[in-house]
Amino acid sequence: MKKFAFVGAVASLALIVGCGTATQQAKQETPKEAKPMAKEEKPKKKLSKKEKFKIALANQDKWQKACSNPIQLVPEGIDIETFKKEMLATVKFPEGGPIGKDVKRGEKLFGDPKKGGKSRRGNCYACHCGDPSIIACGNIGPSLRGYAKRGIDPKDTYIRIYNSWAVNPCSVMPRLGYHGVLKPEEIADIVAYMHDPNSPLNK
């Protein structure tokens, strides 16, 4: 009887040692890089227009906040002259000055949809009339036909395009240079087009 008990004990011990060795070997064979499976990421919630609007309001700079008032004609909480001075300080001129050299590129940037310019980032025709041969133009802003004959300083034209709020606080005209929509050199080419007596704008 003792003999059988001894044999059983030895067999149990062998089984325990064997299982332990197998487990240890399995752990060694598992690659170190193995990581638990990541949980499926939930698709990002699509924001509604109202939510996007709230985010945009929260991210306004102090000047935009000053213009986001019920009247929206004058800045609120900032003196107008101080406002214009601070806006003027944001204007950056290119090395060559406010008048560029590439009138043709200025015409394309101005946004002539009829001639199919590749770059239409100026999109001036959305709010202004320009080339008299183009009748599809906006009337939110004043007509720019015959602009060169008005005796306006090209520097003032540049400033108005770069940051219109330096001239008219809270104007609806986009601040094309301030927001980086147009580079200083591109604005200078638009100025060249607007002031060139031979451009279609001034015929």
The per-residue pLDDT for range 30-86, each reduced to its tens digit, is 445 555 555 566 667 788 877 877 777 778 888 888 888 776 667 888 889 999 999
Number of residues that this document lists for the chain:
203
Q: Which of 138, 141, 107, 109 is nearest to 125 (CA)?
A: 138
Residue 91 near residue 79, CB atoms below 8 Å: no
Do the Cβ atoms of 165 and 175 come closer than 8 Å? yes
Q: What is the pLDDT of residue 22?
A: 45
**CA 139 to CA 143: how far, in whole Å?**
7
* Residue 128 domain-assigned (yes or no): yes
**Count of alpha carbons within 13 angstroms of residue 121, beta-carbon side:** 17
Residue 173 lies in a domain: yes
* Residue 112 confidence (pLDDT): 53
From 114, 116, 136, select the one nearest 127 (Cα to Cα). Answer: 136
Q: Which of 159 and 62 is assigned the larger pLDDT? A: 159
Asked whether residue 137 is assigned to any structural domain, the reply reads yes
Q: Which residue has the higher pLDDT, 16 or 87?
A: 87
Q: Is residue 102 part of a domain?
A: yes
CATH number, domain of 95, equals 1.10.760.10
pLDDT at 33 (0 to 100): 53
Quickly count: other Cβ atoms within 10 Å of residue 25's Cβ. Answer: 10
- Domain assignment present for residue 174? The answer is yes
**Total-model pTM:** 0.70
Return phi, psi of residue 51, to 5°: -65, -40
Cβ neighbours, 10 Å, residue 93: 16
Task: Give me the amino acid identity at 180.
Answer: G
- Per the CB < 8 A criterion, the answer to whether 190 and 109 are in contact is yes
Tell me the average pLDDT across 150-165. 97
Range of 84's domain?
79-202
- Residue 127 located in a structural domain: yes
In a domain, 184, yes or no: yes
CA distance 60 to 68: 9
> What pLDDT is attached to residue 113?
52
Q: How many domains does the chain have?
A: 1
Per-residue pLDDT, 40: 60
Q: Quick: pLDDT tens for 100-146.
A: 999 999 998 998 554 545 555 778 998 999 999 888 889 999 999 99
187 confidence band (pLDDT: 50, 70, 90): very high
What number is the average pLDDT over the span 166-192? Answer: 94
Q: How far apart are CA 21 and CA 123, in angstroms?
A: 76
CA-CA distance, 129 to 133, in Å (whole number)?
10
Residue 29 lies in a domain: no
Q: What pLDDT is attached to residue 9?
A: 45
